[in-house]
Amino acid sequence: MVQLTSIILYCLKQLSKERTVYSIYHLLNGKKSSQTIQDAHLFSLKKFFGVLSPLSRDSYDSMIRTLQEQGYIINHGEQRFLLTSSGESFLNKHPILNELNGWEYHQITWPFWERLSLLIQVASNIVHQEKCYIPIQKNKDVHQWVKTVLKEMKVPKYDLGRMIYQELIACFEHNKTLDPSVLVFRLTGFQQIGLTPMQTAQKLSMNHFDYQLQFINIIHYMIRKIAEKPEQFPILSLLQQELRQQHELTQSSRKTWQLLIQGYSLEAIARLRKLRESTIEDHLVEIALYVNHFSIDPYVEQKLQEEILAVSRRIASRQLKLIKDQVNKASYFQIRLVLAKYGGS
Amino acid sequence: MELEDLLKKQFGFTSFKTGQKEVISALLNKQHTLAMLPTGTGKSLCYQLPGYIFEGQIVIVSPLLSLMQDQVEQMKQYGEKRVVALNSFLSQEERGNVLAFLDRYKFIFISPEMLMSPYIIQKLKNISISLFVVDEAHCISQWGYDFRPDYSKLGEVRKTLGNPLTLALTATATSKVREDIIRSLGLNGVKKIESTIDRPNIGFFVEQIADYRQKEDRVLELVAQLQKPGIIYFSSKKAAEQMADLLSEQQICRASVYHGGLDQDTRILIQQQFIYGQLDVICATSAFGMGVNKENIRFVIHFHMPMQLESYLQEIGRAGRDGEPSIAILLYSPGDELLPLQLAEGELPSESQIDWLFNLLENEGESVNGGRKLSETWRELGGFSEVQWRIVEEFVTRLGQQNKNLCSIRNEIKEFAKRRGQAKKESIFKMKSWIDINTCRRKFILHYFDDPFTSEINQCCDRCGLQLEPYHSFKKSPQKETIDISWKEYLQKLLINGVLNK
């Protein structure tokens, strides 16, 4: 579990006992709650958002127990953990996977894979002139996408396989540290069915969780690479068509945001939506995280903003309580807004 | 056109399998038909082919969602695009689209619960149904091993739809169940086509094993010896998983596990790997097999005894569809019947659970009249399993609509649970007595299904002197793929056709 250990250690280090160990669990699971999303930004852990979803509480608990037994972390009470020196040196020896980009890609990771695997299955069967086969992906949208792509493609059908092959090889060749096996053996084609995640992990003698992380890592690498130079990947770049991430507020926050642009005040929105003001405050913090042109000035005076940031930097903490002790006149809501807006960078 | 010509043109077959032609002829003569055809003999052809003769739509009621999806996909795979499945897999929007243009489809698969919607019934009334098919028709009967409450209302549905020409299909039903099907659907002048359920190329073999551990060893030994591919059935997911691991670890064969607890993608991959010969053995629960069209399965081993002869027959029926000799082996250890007895109990609400729920309803002065919904919290508090809860809900809704009072609903559910529980127990004991008999196992089964078929079969069963050696593999069992190809070679194999390139 080298990869996963590194990631958990890295996260714990970033949190430095300001959050419980379960905030990492929610992060890896990609929980869409204001708290988790804010933590991801505040502690610069965005890239791990949702990279291990779904992860069960039980397996997470047992991982943490193992890390403790191995002496990499120590319990600091109240479900908070700190790295030991051997934890530190483990982390130094085993750098974390460098292509993970959970926050940017978590929503398009799976659709990208579904499209890629179906496209390759279809191309493979075309190349081998086989019309009778069961599509390996069941998602109707993905079927529709492949149909459209095939229709619009200006490539002769028999050449499709060769072109995809060359693009994939070119894509993988740019990064020699990645092992394309984690992805390739899962592909299905003409009279050849791909392996399941479990089978691939076994074949490559990997721990199941590490395997999953490596798989996501290589998908995220592909997404980045293809988006950077779409002209080099005329076919593969179709995989991202209309899949680009639209920065996603939680549904409820989006409603609040819409009312906000229409000029409603925080209190009015709470009344209108029959929600507590504190809930609307949560939404505002979330909006401050994503919506660049959202100004927090109406809620926190400029001078107070600067003060909060200065304190946060000075005491090197993002723990609300500690900041509040120093800037008494600021409310928790105001501190959260400021940290959300400027604290992540 | 002769039926055979149509068969050739639409399906590419040159001859009918047992019973198919009789069923199709009866339907063409506008006779309601009850067809009992053995598993793996192409029951679906019996309604597909008339579809190319009849003007209107063919409506097929099917109880299992996954099976329905498989059937639809297979039809599409063979070029029939006018086919659709109306079930809970469809989104609201998709369903709206399908219902708006229902008459564009020729074959409409539908789940029984969809048929409970008045809106959908109205839509179905607007098209012209030339054939109403009830697949897995034994689910109608309370005496059947797989009774489904929503199936018992199909007779009413049929009436509402104007008594269309009807085909009831089943693979395994005793004569009592068959009578039930006809009565429940309200069919008059039924043509019964009951081909023998016997599969002469499948031999029976029962082995007594002292305990669980030795059973495991015996399976390892058998799998190493027998000709593959094969399926091993388990009643527990965990046991299936363990055995698949053992088989792989000891490199006896390429094995994998299959059960309902795996995610859909994994299930599809495993099933396809097996079909394409990338796996030799599947360790499965009863979730595996429906819709798996693989001709050359050489053995089916039962690690646990099934809950009834009907499902046993279904499961072993997956072997030897190519007509070649195949073997069905059941391993029995003393006390094995306790597991199915336990499972059966878990499928019905217990007396105390029913009392708990109805006391609660009475105390709270709750009325269920007009078909009121029960709260999900009660399900959790009362510890009802999904199956148990479905039964309770069905009774409460149906009887509530008839404005019956709580007391009589309580009694009716209890009465039902008792009766069903008894029927399930009897099935298990029947299965057990088949394991115990000293006489021919095939005759016992045929007699159970009132099947008059008799013929001398060479490789019949252990009681008739069947030995396992003829089923042994001549080859040393195929080791794991020793040639490991690189990922590049794998990609090449998929995407570049060597033959075309040269």
The answer to whether residue B157 scores a pLDDT higher than 70 is: yes
Please give the pLDDT value at position B502: 37
Q: How confident is the model at residue B372 (pLDDT cuts 50, 70, 90)?
A: low
CA distances from A315 to A4, A305, A320, A326, B280 (A): 30, 16, 11, 10, 63
CA distance A235 to A214: 24
Q: Which of residues 59-118 of B touch A (CB under 8 A)?
A: 69, 73, 77-78, 94
Show the tokens assigned to B487.
Answer: 């990922």
What's the mean pLDDT in B254-278? 93
CATH code at position B179: 3.40.50.300
Nearest-5° angle of CA B26, CA B29, CA B32? Answer: 55
Amino acid at A302: Q
Mean pLDDT: which of A6-10, A148-152, B415-419 is highest?
A6-10
Q: CB of B471 within 8 A of CB of A101? A: no
Q: How confident is the model at residue B318 (pLDDT cuts 50, 70, 90)?
A: very high
Is residue B243 within a helix (H) or strand (E), and if so which, with residue range?
Answer: helix B237-249
CA distance A255 to B237: 44
Class of domain A2-93: mainly alpha
Phi and psi at B175, nearest 5°, equal: -65, -30
The answer to whether residue B347 scores a pLDDT higher than 60 is: yes
Closest partner CB to A124 (pick from B256, B278, B495): B495
Please give the pLDDT value at position A139: 83
Cβ contacts of A54 on chain B, cutoff 8 Å: none
| A122 contact partners, CB below 8 Å, separation of at least 6 | A135, A146, A150
Q: What is the pLDDT of residues B166-193, one digit of tens each?
A: 999 998 888 889 999 999 999 999 999 9
Please give the pLDDT value at position B501: 44
CA distance B416 to B374: 19
| Counted domains in chain B | 3
| A210 contact partners, CB below 8 Å, separation of at least 6 | A1, A2, A3, A4, A201
Q: Which of residues 188-207 of A touch B (CB under 8 A)?
A: 188-199
Higher pLDDT, B89 or B56: B56
**Among A279-288, B159-168, B326-335, B471-480, where is mean pLDDT lowest?**
B471-480
Closest partner CB to B495 (pick from A135, A164, A180): A164
Cβ contacts of A165 on chain B, cutoff 8 Å: 491-492, 495-496
The answer to whether residue A245 scores a pLDDT higher than 60 is: no
Question: Final residue of a domain: which of B169, B194, B219?
Answer: B194
> Is residue B176 located within the same domain as residue B51?
yes
Nearest-5° angle of CA B412, CA B413, CA B415? Answer: 65
Q: Does residue B453 form part of some domain?
A: no
Q: Does residue B435 form part of some domain?
A: no
**Domain A2-93 and domain A251-343 have a common topology:** yes
Whether omega before B229 lies within 30 degrees of 0, making that bond cis, reads yes
CA distance A126 to A160: 8
> Is residue B178 located within the same domain as residue B280?
no
CB spacing of A168 vs B491 below 8 angstroms? yes
CA distances from A135 to A120, B155, B395 (A): 11, 36, 40
> Is residue B101 located within the same domain as residue B149?
yes
CA distance B179 to B173: 10
Is residue A5 within a helix (H) or strand (E), and if so which, with residue range?
Answer: helix A2-15
**Among A282-296, B15-29, B228-242, B276-290, where is mean pLDDT lowest?**
A282-296
Please give the pLDDT value at position A123: 95
Please give the pLDDT value at position B425: 93
Please give the pLDDT value at position B478: 53
> Is residue B316 located within the same domain as residue B253?
yes
Strand arrangement, sheet containing B166-170: B83-86, B107-110, B57-61, B129-134, B166-170, B33-36, B191-194
Give the residue from A140, A196, A208, A222 with the most B CB atoms within 10 Å of its CB, the best one to mutate. Answer: A196
Please give the pLDDT value at position B500: 46
> Is residue B259 located within the same domain as residue B371?
no
Q: What is the pLDDT of residues A182-210, one digit of tens each?
A: 999 999 999 999 999 999 999 999 999 99
CB spacing of B496 vs A162 below 8 angstroms? yes
Please give the pLDDT value at position A214: 96
What's the mean pLDDT in A313-319? 78
Closest partner CB to B497 (pick from A128, A179, A180): A128
Please give the pLDDT value at position B217: 96
- In angstroms, the separation between the Cα of residue B117 and the nearest Cα of chain A is 25
Please give the pLDDT value at position B144: 67
Give the residue from B494, B500, B501, B502 with the most A CB atoms within 10 Å of its CB, the best one to mutate. Answer: B494
Is residue A151 within a helix (H) or strand (E), and if so which, with residue range?
Answer: helix A140-152
- In angstroms, the separation between the Cα of residue A338 and the nearest Cα of chain B is 42
Q: What is the span of the domain harbouring residue B415?
A: 346-426
Q: How confident is the model at residue B11 (pLDDT cuts 50, 70, 90)?
A: confident
> Is residue B103 located within the same domain as residue B160?
yes
CA distances from B331 to B186, B257, B304, B305 (A): 42, 19, 7, 8
CB spacing of A161 vs B490 below 8 angstroms? no
> Is residue B228 located within the same domain as residue B131?
no
Q: CB of A161 within 8 A of CB of A126? A: yes
Give the residue from A124, A166, A190, A199 with the most B CB atoms within 10 Å of its CB, the best one to mutate. Answer: A199
CB spacing of A193 vs B94 below 8 angstroms? no
- What single DSSP character describes residue B172? -
Task: Output the DSSP codes for A52-112.
Answer: T-S--HHHHHHHHHHHHHTTSEEE-STT-EEE-HHHHHHHHHSPPPSS--HHHHHHHHHHH
Q: Which of residues 98-157 of A touch B (CB under 8 A)?
A: 120, 123-124, 127-128, 132-136, 138, 140
> Is residue B272 located within the same domain as residue B303?
yes
CATH of domain A251-343: 1.10.10
Please give the share of chain B, as a percent, with pLDDT higher than 90: 56
CA distance B64 to B148: 11
Please give the pLDDT value at position B40: 65
Please give the share of chain B, as a percent, with pLDDT higher than 70: 94
Residue of chain A minimizing CA distance to B292: A134
CB spacing of B492 vs A199 below 8 angstroms? no
Residue of chain B minimizing CA distance to A168: B491
> Is residue B290 located within the same domain as residue B317?
yes
Strand partners, B117: none
Amino acid at B60: I
> Is residue B464 located within the same domain as residue B381?
no
CA distances from B301 to A253, B163, B186, B426 (A): 56, 43, 39, 23
> Is residue B284 located within the same domain as residue B352?
no
Higher pLDDT, A40 or A155: A40
pTM of the model: 0.82
Please give the pLDDT value at position A54: 85
Q: CB of B484 within 8 A of CB of A202? A: no
A151 burial via Cβ count (<10 Å: 0-12, 13-18, 19+): exposed
CA distance B472 to B454: 27
Q: Domain boundaries in chain A? A: 2-93, 102-240, 251-343
> Is residue B214 located within the same domain as residue B171?
no
